[in-house]
């Protein structure tokens, strides 16, 4: 059973979230739906989008016969043909630039960048054209492109395979930046990204690809019969866990870490609220601010190096909106300002439950 988010009078998403129902489903009896992986949800979303519109085309490196290095496009070339899901030469700028041209000529390309750091050769096309084309042409040319990027750490990957590169894209006007954190959102938000007339950089946390949630995927898919449902994820953060003492603000791979920290804090008697942003651009300032005004304390959790990042932006915005409700400065737990480390050092770099709890402890609790 899946419940999409509902909103209160202020337009804020209430606690009755998809995640809550998924948790409930997980605890339920064996008659409940089968567990679904994050990867399967993405694969299903791509297949359903290909089915729904002939304008949707998938291309990238190794996504055809192989089904992608993470198998996210597994079986799609067989099922839909090479004209709908195909391999390109090994050239990321070519992939992005060709996507821009295809979008000019009526297609809705969904491209895969094999890994976060491998997307950098495409940045000129993404920043200088895909992000700006709609503005430059005063709306005449839309860029309904989805750039899927497996990203972030936690899998012991080698250099160039674990970057949290979201801040670069979020800093570039004209790009939407999505970062799903749950299996249901992986499906929902990818459908929404493909449906969007704006270019979307879609960040898939690699460490979550094989995570599972028990929920009714078919019921969720049915919501898309006859077009996109009215309820949107874009710009709508969710309260992933309710709490009263402090707020953890997270997105993508950091949401599960924040949830684990909140669970551990509860054992120590602290009630922590977790906000899952879902989309970085557009940002749901209202839900974040409402939560922090309620709790009076906030920590932003993100894997990206903290300096000049999405995390710093969040801290600034919370401070601007919640100054008079804050009992302590807003703190951050982010990656250090160092290149993403080698596999054996990864654990020291990534935001961990302990580091989050230590930081929560620093929120000036003594009266």
Written as six digits, the tokens of 165 are 């590169």
In 3D, which of 191, 186, 221 has the Cα closest to residue 206?
186
Of 134, 161, 171, 324, the active-site residue reads: 161
Q: Which is nearer to other proteins, 170 or 240 (CB)?
A: 170
Which residues are at the interface with other proteins (CB under 8 A)? Answer: 57, 64-65, 77-83, 88-89, 91, 93-94, 96-107, 109, 121, 124-125, 128-129, 132-142, 173-174, 176, 197-198, 235, 281-283, 285-286
Pick 134 or 207: Cβ nearer other proteins = 134
- Closest approach of other proteins to the CB of residue 56, in Å: 11
Token pair in block for residue 65 = 């016969």
- Nearer to other proteins (CB atom), residue 78 or residue 268: 78
The distance of closest approach from Cβ of residue 180 to other proteins in the complex, given in angstroms and rounded to an integer, is 19
| In contact, 123 and 172? CB cutoff 8 Å | no
Q: Find out whether 219 and 21 touch, Cβ atoms under 8 Å.
A: no
- The CB-of-213 to other proteins minimum distance in angstroms stands at 29
**Distances from the Cα of 339 to the Cα of 163, 207, 303, angstroms:** 8, 19, 12
Question: Does the active-site annotation cover 129?
Answer: no
Shortest reach from residue 176's CB to other proteins, in Å:
7
Is the four-CA dihedral 83, 197, 152, 232 of positive or negative sign? negative
Give the orientation angle of helix 183-195 with respect to helix 38-52, to 10 degrees.
30
- Taking the least distance from each CB to other proteins, the nearer of 75 and 339 is 75
Residue with Cβ nearer other proteins (75 or 329): 75
First vs last C-alpha separation in the chain: 44
Q: How far is the CB of 206 from other proteins (least distance, A)?
A: 26
Q: ∠ CA 280-282-285 to the nearest 5 degrees?
A: 85
Q: Is 288 exposed, middle or buried (0-12, 13-18, 19+ CB in 10 A)?
A: buried
Looking at the annotation, which residues are catalytic? 161
């Amino acid at each position: 059973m899946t419940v999409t988010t509902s909103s209160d009078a202020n337009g804020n998403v209430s606690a009755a979230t998809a995640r809550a129902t998924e948790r409930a489903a997980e605890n339920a009896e064996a008659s409940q739906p089968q567990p679904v992986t994050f990867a399967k949800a993405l694969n299903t979303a791509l297949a359903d989008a290909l089915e729904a519109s002939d304008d949707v085309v998938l291309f990238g490196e190794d996504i055809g016969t192989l089904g992608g290095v993470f198998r996210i496009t597994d079986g799609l070339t067989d099922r839909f043909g090479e004209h709908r899901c195909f391999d390109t030469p090994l050239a990321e700028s070519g992939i992005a630039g060709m996507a821009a041209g295809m979008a000019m000529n009526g297609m809705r390309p969904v491209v895969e960048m094999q890994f976060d750091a491998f997307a950098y050769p495409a940045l000129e096309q993404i920043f200088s054209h895909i992000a700006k084309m709609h503005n430059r042409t005063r709306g005449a040319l839309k860029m309904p492109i989805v750039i899927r990027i497996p990203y972030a750490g936690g899998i012991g990957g080698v250099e160039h395979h674990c970057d949290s590169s979201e801040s670069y894209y979020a800093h570039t006007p004209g790009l939407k930046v999505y970062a799903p954190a749950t299996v249901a959102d992986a499906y929902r938000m990818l459908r929404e990204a493909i449906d969007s007339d704006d270019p979307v950089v879609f960040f898939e946390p690699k460490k979550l690809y094989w995570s599972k949630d028990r929920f009714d995927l078919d019921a969720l898919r049915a919501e898309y019969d006859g077009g996109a449902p009215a309820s949107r994820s874009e710009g709508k953060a969710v309260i992933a866990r309710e709490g009263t003492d402090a707020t953890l603000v997270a997105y993508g791979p950091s949401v599960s870490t924040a949830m684990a920290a909140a669970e551990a804090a509860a054992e120590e008697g602290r009630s922590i609220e977790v906000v899952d942003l879902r989309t970085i651009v557009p940002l749901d300032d209202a839900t974040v601010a409402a939560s922090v005004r309620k709790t009076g304390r906030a920590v932003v959790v993100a894997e990206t190096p903290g300096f000049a990042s999405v995390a710093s932006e969040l801290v600034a915005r919370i401070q601007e909106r919640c100054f008079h409700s804050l009992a302590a400065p807003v703190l951050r737990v982010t990656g250090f300002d160092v290149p993403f480390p080698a596999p054996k050092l990864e654990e020291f770099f990534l935001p961990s439950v302990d580091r989050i709890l230590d930081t929560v402890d620093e929120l000036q609790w003594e009266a």
